[in-house]
Structure 1
Amino acid sequence: MRRRLLLLRHGEVDYFPQGKPVPPEGVGLTERGRAQAEAVGELLRGVSLDLAIHTGLPRTEETLALVLRGRPVPVEVWPAFREIRPGRLRDLPDPERAFREAFHPKSLEERFLGGERYADFLERVLSAYGRLLEKPWDTLLLVAHGGVIRAILTYALTGQRGFLPLEVHPCGLSVLDLGDPPLLRLHNLTPYEPLPKTRLSTLEALWQAYQNG
């Protein structure tokens, strides 16, 4: 019998208030982000969960709290599932190119926006994923980040370390049934907007927000 892993990105946040980048570690949800999380909570209301996990950052903790509001589900904090860490944008020689090429590295030795190496990020996340699979559970909800979800899905579906070209919108829900073979039942469902209007990638949208702030 396959186990079911629900992967949920946190709700919308604003990394560039007034056009200036802020430390991503402390960013919380916007009003729209809270509404997105509440919509996911309504969708999952009838789904029995054995365990729920967030990454310890405000945006994932708040998202999970809204999704589980009033439900007695055990919650754990796994910092190893935090998003890949960027460097300082002002130190990038070509920031637009860095944004557009993010998560499409020619080598895993490259650094995400001048910060954490892709190889180190994948080692951190996939090691935690391996430990997660060793725990006894049937249905688990992991609230994490876009890069983390892409890394887990890529590894689960291909056995390779890297990043398939998968978009993960704010509060985008993926359902992965783990077994031999694993089955991706659902990817990037956004119950607040079933057919996303945007055609930008996450990083393209972030670059636009940085420019327009």
Structure 2
Amino acid sequence: MPTLLLVRHGRSTANTSGLLAGRTPGVALDDLGTAQAAALPGRLAALPLAAAVHSPLERCRQTLDPLSRARPELPLHTEERIGECDYGDWTGRKLAELNDEPLMTAVQQHPSSVAFPGGETMRGMQSRAVEAVREWNERIEREHGADATYLMCSHGDVIKSLVADALGLHLDLFQRIHVEPCSVTAIRYTPVRPFLLRLGDTGDLASLAPREPDREPDGAAAGRPAGGDGNAAVGGGA
């Protein structure tokens, strides 16, 4: 099954203003976020990509603009189900103010119970995103083969919920996960289990590129990326 690269959008003007942007239209990348997006094609240069899928929000589209210009042949797709959580009445408010809301305790400690007033539940956010990934995995494998790699550009809480699903963590533990703006999280899906290969990586990604299976004396495929055959490497692997 394919390898999925989850890219959080670059830093936005809402991030630097301390606002919960949610689905507010027109929230753009700030200067640092623009620079982060400009560096993304170089970081991904060694990786063949079958497709790029993005949230419909502007900050995700902006993050992929430099990659699209660098790889004009790369198919781009919009996917509503990996859009930002609908925070309802919390949308557009300052995070400092929201910290005093009684619901914030549940958001931090018991997110599976949270329904944002006028918005969606955190369980619903995770469910739609996981459903989207499962369907895109099948599509990418069908169209490009089981060893294909593709990219999704989404949002912090959405990516964290997908990582929790891949690790078999209850949603109530997903706040222990952190992903920086424009970081890359890599998950290799197999018929047996997903493998988390990178979490919030902001550096070089060349080692994720497919490699020839150089055989070691014991028959292990030393060059195969982790999880290629669905088995975990006992002792951690090379």
TM-score range, shorter chain: 0.7 to 0.9
Match in the other structure for 1:126 = 130
1:117-136, CA deviations, whole angstroms, 9 ceiling, x for partnerless residues? 11221222122122112213
Of 104, 109, 112 in structure 2, the residue corresponding to residue 108 of structure 1 is: 112
With normalisation by structure 1, the TM-score equals 0.76
Report the more deviating stretch, 97-106 or 39-48. 97-106
Answer yes or no: is the 8 Å Cα contact 1:9–1:170 preserved in 2.
yes
CA–CA distance in structure 1, aligned partners of residues 5 and 74 of structure 2: 14
1:57 pairs with 2:57: yes
CA 1:31 to 1:62, structure 2 compared with 1: closer, same or farther past 3 Å?
same
Shift in Å, 1:41: 1.6
Answer yes or no: is the 8 Å Cα contact 1:102–1:113 preserved in 2.
no
CA–CA distance in structure 2, aligned partners of residues 149 and 19 of structure 1: 20
RMSD (Å) for aligned C-alpha atoms? 3.0
CA 1:42 to 1:19, structure 2 compared with 1: closer, same or farther past 3 Å?
closer
Match in the other structure for 2:156 = 146
CA 1:18 to 1:9, structure 2 compared with 1: closer, same or farther past 3 Å?
closer
Answer yes or no: is the 8 Å Cα contact 1:27–1:58 preserved in 2.
yes
Shift in Å, 1:86: 1.4
1:82 pairs with 2:83: yes
Which amino acid counterpart does residue 140 of structure 2 have in structure 1? P
Greater radius of gyration (CA): 2
Shift in Å, 1:69: 2.3
Which residues of structure 1 form unaligned runs of 5+? 193-213
CA–CA distance in structure 2, aligned partners of residues 16 and 5 of structure 1: 25
Report the more deviating stretch, 114-123 or 25-34. 114-123
**Alignment map for 1:19-30 (pairs within 5 Å):** 24-30=24-30
Of 167, 181, 194 in structure 2, the residue corresponding to residue 157 of structure 1 is: 167
Match in the other structure for 1:66 = 66
State the number of aligned residues: 190
CA 1:120 to 1:85, structure 2 compared with 1: closer, same or farther past 3 Å?
same
CA–CA distance in structure 2, aligned partners of residues 16 and 187 of structure 1: 20
Match in the other structure for 1:189 = 201
1:90-140, CA deviations, whole angstroms, 9 ceiling, x for partnerless residues? 6x9x72145964753525231247732112212221221221122134110
Answer yes or no: is the 8 Å Cα contact 1:154–1:162 preserved in 2.
no
Match in the other structure for 1:95 = 98
Answer yes or no: is the 8 Å Cα contact 2:106–2:113 preserved in 1.
no
Which amino acid counterpart does residue 154 of structure 2 have in structure 1? A
Q: Which structure ranks higher in relative contact order (CA pairs < 8 Å, sequence separation ≥ 6)?
A: 1
**Alignment map for 1:36-47 (pairs within 5 Å):** 36-47=36-47
Match in the other structure for 1:5 = 4
CA–CA distance in structure 2, aligned partners of residues 20 and 176 of structure 1: 29
- Percent of matched pairs sharing the same residue: 28
SS of residue matched to 1:108: helix
Which amino acid counterpart does residue 3 of structure 2 have in structure 1? R
Shift in Å, 1:176: 1.0
